[in-house]
Each structure stands twice: as structure tokens, then as C-alpha cells.
Structure 1
């Protein structure tokens, strides 16, 4: 009897339709947000139409209008997804290695549609106040992640006391953007390590000079 019951239960389970995680609504939202990022990358924040989003996402136009009646809301939510999917700053126990890895991954991300969309949104005058608020939150979260990693490093690895993490991140990421525009390719690991070495050495030398009477 037990075997027959098990077979019956198995047959009943096999006949039941499997539910996909998130359902159709979640899939529509994900495709729409992905399409929005791609179009922002191509045309800028204000350079795309809802019809284009629907066509690229393969969804009905009314679905886009119903879920995001406001363009800023649509762009903001698409950009928020970037922050949620951003890879954390590694902690291998070697700060130099982790910062270099961050630069390499950042250089790769800059070449993706998502990275290009972020750069378009960051252009002066390209985004509304709502979108700027999302970008500010994204930047704040990235600075906080780097600060946490720096503060957890050994004393001899850290930048000098008092160095602002936002300033450190700007010094490190500036050469990455220059490399991207100059070559259109990801930053080599060896060059990323050189950037980290030069920036940290420069900060330490400046701190020592300022401490001298």
C-alpha cells in the first residue's frame, strides 16, 4: 500500500504545473528595467520613448505605462537595480589586492550597457532631481563599502588617518575612466595595482609632509 501511495503522490506531483519564481509580473518588470538601462545607454536619460522600452523588452506598452507612469520613476528603479546587484568589495586580507580588484571590476562594468547608462545619467543636466537622488544614494553606498574595507585593513595597509574615503575612491577611479575612454577595454590587473600603489604612496607622502614642522 505504501508503494502504491508513493507512486500516486509522485504522479500527482508530476502533473502539477511548476511555478516559476516571481511569476509573470516579476519577469515583465525585470525585462522592462533591463530594456530601460539599455536604452538609456544608447540615447541618454531623456532620449528614449516608452514604445521603445516595450518593444525591446517584448512586453505590451500598457504594462510599462501602468507600472511606471512617470519616466523618472522608471529610470530610477532601473538604476536602483544596479546598486542591488553591485558586487561587494572583496576582503582577501590584502587591501592592495582588493582595491586593485575593485578597479578591474569597475573597468569591466563601465563597458556594459548598465555602466554606460550610469555614465549618461551622471552627465551634468542629464538627470532630474529624482534620478540624481538615486545616483547619490548609489555613490554613498559604494563609498560606505570601500570605507568598511579600508577600516578593516591592517594599520600598515591603510591610507593615512583623516583621508576621506570618497576622495580616495575618486583618486583611484579617475584613471579607470581615462583608460576606458582611451582604449575602450578593461583595465589590466597590473595597471590597476600600479594605480593603487601610486595613490596610496602619494597620500602617505602628503601626510608625512604635512606633519613636518
Structure 2
């Protein structure tokens, strides 16, 4: 799954309001990636965007409002999970997108995740966005079931997707290790093998409080 906070939405036609939003959100992404949450200010965003600061305050009110709008804008992109013809291929492609978003320097994705710890508004918006993105990616598991790669109606798609993508965040965000070009495929393969063995059985998740959910 591509990191949903790491992509700039496609430009949409519109009047001055749309143009101002584009300029301001582009400025937020740049300021956040370069200076982190601590360096993100309404004045700095207004200056970079070339917009009067009263306009920024009137529409977004504070830094939390800017962060929420950046996150919501990420949900507006026209993105679809890859369809490579196999579950392993799809999960590998998703992981490659995640790795790409996390290793680019400076990484807006990493900066925004850090910022969410300082803003309750941003944290809630990011949780909603991730939930929506995981739901969107469940088709990857549905296709695998249709192809006979996984037991029909017995796989908890959300648990499988989290297991497949989590190693990327653990390695690159928590440990801050150098990117491993083999990790996207290895993590995908491990999740596929576990799923085939029944580790993400929806029936097991419902019956066993200790099972993955």
C-alpha cells in the first residue's frame, strides 16, 4: 500500500479558492519535510505559498488545521492497489511503494507521521485515512481468494495487509535502518505463507481474543 500521506493529489480545475488551497498545501508539505513539525508555522507556510497570512488563518485557523487538510487531500487522490496477477506480487508492489515514500529525503511521509503525535486533529485524520486505505487494499486479498491462492472467505484481509506492510515501518521508521531492497518482497512472501497456513483466518480472529485482528 502506498503511504497515503506521501502523495500530492492531482491538480483539479477550479477558481482562486482551489488555487490557494493547492499553494498552501504544497507549502505545508515542503515546510514539514524540510523543518519537521517544530518548524511548521502559519507564517512560514503563508510566505512559502505566496498567500497573505490572514487568508491562511481564516481558512485553516492553526497548524492542526493545516495538517488535517493535508491528510484529507491525500485521501482525494485517484489511487488503486496494484494488480500483478498474484498475491505475492501485489503485496510486494505495495511494499515497494511504501519503501519509496519512506526513504526519499526529506520524507514528508515520516514528517507527517511524527507531526500527528503533536496534534490530536492530525492524529484522528491520519487514523481515518489509514483505515480507508487498508479498506481500499482489501481487494488485493479478495482477488487472491478468487484465484484460489487463499481459502475462500476465511482470511481476515486487514490482518494480512498489516502483517505484510508492518516490517517496512519497523525497519525504516522505528529502527531508522538503511533501506533493504529485498525487504518488500521478503515481507510480502512471509505474509503470503502465513496466510496460506491460516494465520489470518477470519474465523480464528472472531473466536480467539489473542488472535490477530
Q: Which TM-score applies when normalising by structure 1?
A: 0.73
Partner residue, 1:8? none
Partner residue, 1:33? 25
Matched-pair contact (CA < 8 Å) for 1:41–1:120? no
**Counterpart check, 1:117 vs 2:111:** yes
Instruction: Give the gaps of 5 or more residues in structure 1.
Output: 1-19
CA radius of gyration, larger in:
1
Root-mean-square deviation (CA, aligned residues, Å) is: 2.9
SS at match of 1:35: helix
Partner residue, 1:151? 142
Matched-pair contact (CA < 8 Å) for 1:37–1:75? no
Matched-pair contact (CA < 8 Å) for 2:29–2:108? yes
Q: How many residues align?
A: 185
Going from structure 1 to structure 2, the CA distance change for 1:94 and 1:204 (only over 3 Å counts) comes to closer
Supply the distance in 1 between the matched residues of 2:53 and 2:151 (Cα, whole angstroms).
51
SS at match of 2:125: helix
Flag the structure with higher helix content. 1
**Counterpart check, 1:182 vs 2:177:** yes
User: C-alpha displacement at 1:56, in angstroms?
Assistant: 1.8
Aligned pairs for 1:14-29 (under 5 A) are: 21-29=13-21
Matched-pair contact (CA < 8 Å) for 1:96–1:196? yes
Partner residue, 1:73? 65
Partner residue, 1:137? 128
Matched-pair contact (CA < 8 Å) for 1:37–1:79? no
Matched-pair contact (CA < 8 Å) for 2:102–2:110? yes
